Amino acid sequence: MGKEIPSRSEDYSLWYNELVKKADLAEHSDVRGCMVIKPYGYSIWEKMQAALDKMFKDTGHLNAYFPLFVPKSMFEAEEKNAEGFAKECAIVTHYRLKTDPENPGKLIVDPEAKLEEELVVRPTSEAIIWNTYKKWIQSYRDLPLLINQWANVVRWEMRTRLFLRTAEFLWQEGHTAHASSAEAVQETLQMLDVYADFAEQFMAMPVIKGKKSEGERFPGAIDTYCIEAMMQDGKALQAGTSHFLGQNFAKAFDVKFANKEGKLDYVWGTSWGVSTRLMGALIMAHSDDEGLVLPPKLAPIHVVIVPIFRSEDELNMVTDEVNKILKTLRQQGWTVKFDNRDTQKPGYKFAEWELKGVPVRIAIGPRDLANGTVEVARRDTKEKQVMNLADVGTGIPKLLDQIQENIFQKALKFRTEMITKVDSYDDFKRILDEKTGFVLAHWDGTPETEAAIKEETKATIRCIPLTADGESGECVYTGKPSAQRVLFARAY
């Protein structure tokens, strides 16, 4: 069909890039580092947004919108945060173009329209939001303040990859304020759970919840928690983060509240986000050499029906039956596509919808009509079955449930196999090179050891898992004591 992609074993990286392009998910734009999210890719993102937005609202959060621009002086108020993002900020310095006197029809930046203070295009919104919270919070009655924003952000990147690393990306960022440290920590962990539930229940992607080491912490946070997923090439991918900010931003922006006793104190904060990076994770977690494999809960099209026909008469006969199936399934809320193009053969259509990851394909021709059956193919296992026409209304929804569950179990089995406990640095390096995946190893807790291991192996501490087995031991690198194993991997 002219849309073949390389196999994963051949070149995993090229497989990913080609799949993203050929399945019409996204492409590089002519704007350095920025992507275009194509309609099919965007419709998956919309499904992610809808599910997440509901989860945020169910946990009491409201959406709002804050400015794209942050004045430099506001941006630098929380020093660690500013320092962490300074190197990747797009900066607006002027507010007008004018015609170039030397090149009619061309424009130049008007030097007279220079801003008094430069504006940073938000790489994240803590600064602008905490600057606003100062006006919104006076008393404990104003707390907790539970707000989320869906927005675009910009972090200048030299090396970009579609969805995984782009200069502009789409995300949501939650920003909450609380009356106590305990409450803020609870919120941080609650949102980590929301992310983990979303990843596992909607994306069918198992994740490990943990805390970041100091070196991998969000700039300005006291603690950063994350969910880590395993891709099919044995590399880890950070799929979401939730930060306990302590009173850092409250102090930087002077956000105080009067508690029940009337005493003034700084507010406690959290922030948490997931982005279009999840699209990359979804693709890499499940897809195969034929194309996308989408979990039904995020698939823009659940079922595609391909008619088998040689004449217009045959197509008409088949169409009558297809219309009944469409009605039955659409009434149940499924999105069903009837691909009745007469410009392409069935084999071409099969390959195209496999590439696009539609979970279930129904093929139906005159012989099926005579037998009162259809041929049903599932995308995940590529198994085919003959289903009675009368059973389609119950059989297809059941199959979609099974596919959702199977994709998760398959990914979970793989992920479980890809966690290796090691007790020596030699094993550590060998596993990383030969088997790849997560390596569970003891670490002495120092940034120096973390940095040395990263330097020598390119593996980073993905997280300190929340569900520790309590097993103490000795650091694989220094032999110094370690309270628990941490999760290492090479990562996206």
Place of tokens 């992310």: 195
Q: Which stretch binds its own copies (CB under 8 A): 91-99, 207-215, 221-229, 432-440?
A: 91-99
Q: Which amino acid is at 250?
A: A
Question: Comparing C-alpha atoms, which of 15, 137, 127, 145 is closest to residue 67?
Answer: 127
Binding test (CB under 8 A) with its own copies, winner from 5, 19, 20, 35: 35
65 or 456: CB nearest its own copies: 65
Q: Rule CB under 8 A: is residue 37 a binding residue for its own copies?
A: yes
Q: Which amino acid is at 491?
A: A
DSSP 434: I
Binding test (CB under 8 A) with its own copies, winner from 5, 19, 20, 70: 70
Q: Rule CB under 8 A: is residue 251 a binding residue for its own copies?
A: no
CB of 30 to its own copies, least distance (A): 6
Query: How many other C-beta atoms are found inside a 10 Å radius of the C-beta of residue 430?
Result: 14
Query: How many other C-beta atoms are found inside a 10 Å radius of the C-beta of residue 182?
Result: 10
Q: Which stretch binds its own copies (CB under 8 A): 93-101, 186-194, 233-241, 412-420?
A: 93-101
Q: Which stretch binds its own copies (CB under 8 A): 80-88, 215-223, 257-265, 414-422?
A: 80-88
Binding test (CB under 8 A) with its own copies, winner from 10, 11, 13, 93: 93
Q: Tell me the two tokens of residue 338.
A: 């009837």
Q: Alpha-carbon distance 228 to 207, whole Å? A: 5
Classified as helix, coil or strand, 236 is strand
Q: Alpha-carbon distance 433 to 425, whole Å? A: 12
Q: Rule CB under 8 A: is residue 62 a binding residue for its own copies?
A: yes
Binding test (CB under 8 A) with its own copies, winner from 4, 10, 27, 471: 27
Whether the CB-CB separation of 333 and 339 falls below 8 Å is answered with: no
Whether the CB-CB separation of 419 and 437 falls below 8 Å is answered with: yes
CB of 85 to its own copies, least distance (A): 8
CA 96 to chain centre: 36
CB of 355 to its own copies, least distance (A): 17
Classified as helix, coil or strand, 325 is helix
Q: Which stretch binds its own copies (CB under 8 A): 112-120, 371-379, 390-398, 432-440?
A: 112-120
Binding test (CB under 8 A) with its own copies, winner from 65, 371, 384, 458: 65
Binding test (CB under 8 A) with its own copies, winner from 86, 258, 419, 483: 86
Q: Which stretch binds its own copies (CB under 8 A): 74-82, 257-265, 331-339, 396-404?
A: 74-82
CB of 173 to its own copies, least distance (A): 14
Q: Residue 58: which residues within 8 A CB-CB, separation 6 or more?
A: none
* Total site size for its own copies, rule CB under 8 A: 65
Q: Residues 61, 65, 70, 74: is their CA dihedral positive or negative? A: negative
Q: Alpha-carbon distance 218 to 380, whole Å? A: 37
17 or 232: CB nearest its own copies: 17
CB of 125 to its own copies, least distance (A): 11
CB of 102 to its own copies, least distance (A): 14
Place of tokens 């993203």: 20
Q: Rule CB under 8 A: is residue 214 a binding residue for its own copies?
A: no
Q: Alpha-carbon distance 178 to 266, whole Å? A: 9
Q: Rule CB under 8 A: is residue 95 a binding residue for its own copies?
A: yes
Q: Alpha-carbon distance 173 to 185, whole Å? A: 17
Q: Rule CB under 8 A: is residue 68 a binding residue for its own copies?
A: yes
Whether the CB-CB separation of 273 and 52 falls below 8 Å is answered with: no
> What residues between 116 and 175 interact with its own copies by CB under 8 A?
118-121, 128, 131-132, 135, 147, 151-152, 154, 156, 168, 170
278 or 418: CB nearest its own copies: 278
72 or 161: CB nearest its own copies: 72
Q: Rule CB under 8 A: is residue 298 a binding residue for its own copies?
A: no
167 or 360: CB nearest its own copies: 167
67 or 393: CB nearest its own copies: 67
Query: How many other C-beta atoms are found inside a 10 Å radius of the C-beta of residue 328?
Result: 16
Binding test (CB under 8 A) with its own copies, winner from 5, 44, 48, 89: 89
CA distances 319 to 323, 324, 345, Å, are 6, 9, 16
Query: How many other C-beta atoms are found inside a 10 Å radius of the C-beta of residue 336?
Result: 21
Instruction: Give Dmax over CA atoms of the chain in angstroms.
Output: 83
Which chain residues interact with its own copies by CB under 8 A?
27, 29-32, 34-39, 42-43, 45-46, 62-72, 74-76, 79, 82-83, 86-99, 105-107, 109, 118-121, 128, 131-132, 135, 147, 151-152, 154, 156, 168, 170
